[in-house]
Amino acid sequence: MTSRRMLFTVMLAAALPSLAAAGTLRAGAAASNVTPPLGLPLVGGWSPTPSVYVHDELHARALVLDDGRTRLAIAVTDNLGIPRAVFDETRRMLQDKTGLAPENMLFSSTHTHSAASARGKGSFASGESLDEYQRFVARRIAEAVLCAIHNLEPARVGFGSAREASPLFNRRWKMKPGTPLLNPFGETDQVMMNPRPGDPNLLEPAGPVDPEIAFLSVVSASGRPIALLANYSLHYVGGVPAGHVSADYFGIFAERIAELLGTRGQDPPFVGILSNGTSGDVNNIDFTGRSSRPKAPYEQMRRVADLVAGAVHQAWKSVEHRAEVTLAAAARDLPLAVRLPDAKRIAWAENVLKNPPKLHRHEETYARRVLNMKNHPARVAVPLQALRVGEVGIAAIPMETFAETGLEIKRRSPLPHTFTLSLANGSYGYLPTPAQHKLGGYETWLGTSNLEVEAASKIVETILQLLEEVRK
């Protein structure tokens, strides 16, 4: 079949109305390649580095569920953080081709630090046209969903939960009194991000971690694995040489869980998906110094992916899969204030760039960020979403969300099981809680966290309302 005829077949299948009887589940999954061309700058560090080598390809991985009444599409893409404008373009393409409602599509980024930027001119830019890579990513996510729709077949779905705490460490630390904690603005914080492992001034972590690996397992009517969507609250792993393109441990997990489930050579291919949970303050470094990371490139990444995939596989063996499940979706834009710099902060930034005092190694970086924020809008509408898959609630927040926020949503959710995808439907920076804002630290600095101090509290309440809506 020619590529043109194949695309027409996919589009026709996507446009057809659901043929499943109400209450009977169908599912399909697919992946598309979003690897950037060599030479594009890789983001994730303090300064972009041109890509020189592709260690492993980047993908958009999609899962589509249809219960005969409602169709849901979920896609997770290997990228640091994709802005709303790109995801909205994907929604526009899919709605045009399939009629799928925008609120029924959930798109998120993994937060790999070894990918080209899809941010364009920034998450707060409005009315800007997409650049070439942004258009490419939007189209490839849409194509992954279209192919997943093409692959729809009678299916069963089940929820599973595993735990793996060993790679998880809260990276924000309270330090002993008298420890210098100067920030780029010349002010004193109460916590330090990523202190030196084994530092004698360590007091205690400033927040918790969430060791749960929540997952949805989808199998065909005969029991063949179709897809597995997992959620783990670990930032990224890293250990990647400069200039290497990599999906980080998210990509290795996808391959490893496929191996463990014995899906080699399967047609259509099984799609493993690992989404980023509430990991804004969590990484894989043991700051107490009692354990150390392997130092060879990619070694720690493989170790973490193996641990997570192994725990999921063990839990998967006891998952009960059901064909009759209820699907639902709800979404809402939440208006929030933007933390704009005042005249004093702007004067500070201008002075730093004219006469760099070098009191902090990131002064110039944050001076540029502060001046860039002069053009930000005073308010922004933040997209929030909740999906229901049977007894499972899936929350979507477009920010790097702290573990304590994810734990609160789980604790207060009206559904029996709930997990949260961060960097979902947009990318608006870090989301500290109000209490964490008072402690300061990297995740709270203006230019890193740009929304109002009460944003986390307001987002949690709105997410809980959305979960209540889909529960009914």
Provide the CA 233 distance to its chain's centre, in angstroms. 10
Residue 416 preceded by cis peptide, ω within 30: no
Q: How far apart are CA 410 and CA 315, in angstroms?
A: 19
Cα dist. 322→24, 68, 319, 325, 332 in Å? 9, 15, 10, 7, 30
pLDDT reading at 22 higher than 80: no
What is the spatial distance between Cα 157 and Cα 149, in angstroms, rounded to a whole number?
16
* pLDDT (average), residues 63-79: 98
Q: Which two tokens stand for residue 214?
A: 């929540």
Confidence class for position 448, pLDDT limits 50, 70, 90 = very high
pLDDT at 377: 92
330-343: per-residue pLDDT in tens?
999 999 999 999 99
Q: In the 8-state DSSP scheme, what is residue 191?
A: E
Q: Is the pLDDT of residue 20 over 80?
A: no
pLDDT at 125: 65
Sign of the Cα pseudo-torsion (210, 58, 300, 288, in order): negative
Residue of 109, 382, 410, 406 lying closest to 280 (CA atoms): 406
Residue 327 confidence class, pLDDT cut points 50, 70, 90: very high
* Across 219-234, average pLDDT: 98
pLDDT at 114: 96
The yes-or-no verdict on residue 61 having pLDDT over 50 is yes
State phi, psi for 196 to the nearest 5 degrees: -65, 125
Q: What is the pLDDT of residue 170?
A: 98
Residue position matching structure tokens 């004698």: 200
**Residue 456 structure tokens:** 């986390």
Residues 6 or more apart whose CB falls under 8 angstroms from that of 461 comprise none
Q: Tell me, what's the pLDDT at 123?
A: 67
Cα–Cα distance for residue pair 119/130, rounded to 1 Å: 9
Q: Examine the pLDDT at 9 and tell me if it is beyond 70.
A: no
CA angle 255, 257, 261 (to 5 degrees): 120
Domain spans of the chain?
A: 3-165+208-328, 341-375
Query: For the segment 237-283, what is each residue's pLDDT rounded down to a tens digit?
Result: 999 999 999 999 999 999 999 999 999 999 999 999 999 999 999 99
Q: Is the pLDDT of residue 11 over 50?
A: no
Question: Percent of the chain, pLDDT > 90?
Answer: 88
- Give the mean pLDDT of the chain: 93
Q: Would the pLDDT of 5 be above 90?
A: no
Residue of 100, 104, 102 whose CA lies nearest to 146 = 100
- Beta-carbon contacts of 259 under 8 Å, excluding residues fewer than 6 positions away, are none
Instruction: State the pLDDT at residue 121.
Output: 74
Q: What is the pLDDT of residue 358?
A: 79
pTM given for the model:
0.94
* Nearest alpha carbon to residue 458 among 334, 359, 357, 329: 334
Residue 232 neighbours by CB distance under 10 Å: 30
- Interval 273-321: pLDDT, tens: 999 999 999 999 999 999 887 889 999 999 999 999 999 999 999 999 9
More confident residue, 429 or 126: 429
Q: Give pLDDT tens digits for 360-414.
A: 999 999 999 999 998 889 999 999 999 999 999 999 999 999 999 999 999 999 9
Is residue 19 pLDDT above 60, yes or no? Answer: no
